[in-house]
Structure 1
């Protein structure tokens, strides 16, 4: 176990988030998404909702401030004016200090094509319709503070 790592982030998902570089994308897929026919790098998170994993990822994952759109939603169809879950996502973006990223809405077939190019797809158990999200990874702008140690500090 590690401290301060959200419980929804599996070791496999943490590894993928670390491997991803600037501009790489990850898909958070609902239970209806054809995950396994769209990627060779699927990360199953059975029993986890997209809002939970979205918030937990955004505590660690920088979004791409250089991209036109670092957050992409799957566009709804005529049967839904605006999916309710999108307001939940807006609150999560605000809570994680990412409310400057306006989501781009992409039609279902175009979303599927973009998802095929993603670094990985996270397969959740989310039941809400049109809940799929793509996140584009950004950079950490600050340089980490270096700690200088001398031989006496090493045990």
Structure 2
């Protein structure tokens, strides 16, 4: 165990976050996301008992978002005509705003199948037990500044 590290961050997940370099991406996926098939070339970390907001908050305590891109956090857009509500996106905006001065301006969105293609290039995918629909988010790592 370590001080000041959120307990939800497992040793495996901490190792992966440490291994990642500037501009590497990690996907935090909901329970419906095809993590194993999309993540054939990525490290897939199982966090089935956890929800995305809790993991997002914990990860952002140790993981800087990329300041060299406008939207270092990307959401999967709803399929046109899909009427499902996405209140979880409001949670993401609040969480990102706690850790990045750009707030919700740091969050973008991309079409569903484009999201899958971007996820295939990710360094890692975290498979969660999140039940909310369209709860997937890609984070792009920034530079760790000396002294932070």
**TM-score greater than 0.5 by the shorter chain:** yes
Q: Which runs of 5+ in 2 are unaligned?
A: none
After TM superposition, which residue ranges in structure 1, 4 or more long, deviate above 4 angstroms? Answer: none
- The TM-score, its normalising length taken from structure 2, stands at 0.91
- The TM-score, its normalising length taken from structure 1, stands at 0.87
Counterparts in 2 of 1:18 and 1:42: CA distance versus 1, 3 Å:
same
Aligned partner of 2:92 in structure 1 is 89
Aligned partner of 1:76 in structure 2 is 78
Cα RMSD between the aligned structures? Answer: 1.6
Q: What do residues 25-71 of structure 1 show as CA deviations (whole Å, max 9, x unaligned)?
A: 00000000000001141000021000000000001100000013200
Pairing 1:1-155 to 2, within 5 Å after superposition: 1-40=1-40, 41-77=43-79, 78-80=81-83, 83-98=86-101, 99=103, 101-141=105-145, 143-144=146-147
Matched-pair contact (CA < 8 Å) for 1:27–1:133: yes
Matched-pair contact (CA < 8 Å) for 2:25–2:140: yes
Counterparts in 2 of 1:89 and 1:37: CA distance versus 1, 3 Å:
same
Secondary structure at 2:91's aligned position in 1?
helix
Secondary structure at 2:67's aligned position in 1?
coil
TM-fit CA distance, 1:95: 2.2
Counterparts in 2 of 1:11 and 1:91: CA distance versus 1, 3 Å:
same
Identify which range, 127-136 or 95-104, moves more after superposition. Answer: 95-104
Counterparts in 2 of 1:42 and 1:58: CA distance versus 1, 3 Å:
same
Aligned partner of 1:151 in structure 2 is none
Matched-pair contact (CA < 8 Å) for 1:76–1:82: no
Matched-pair contact (CA < 8 Å) for 2:44–2:124: yes
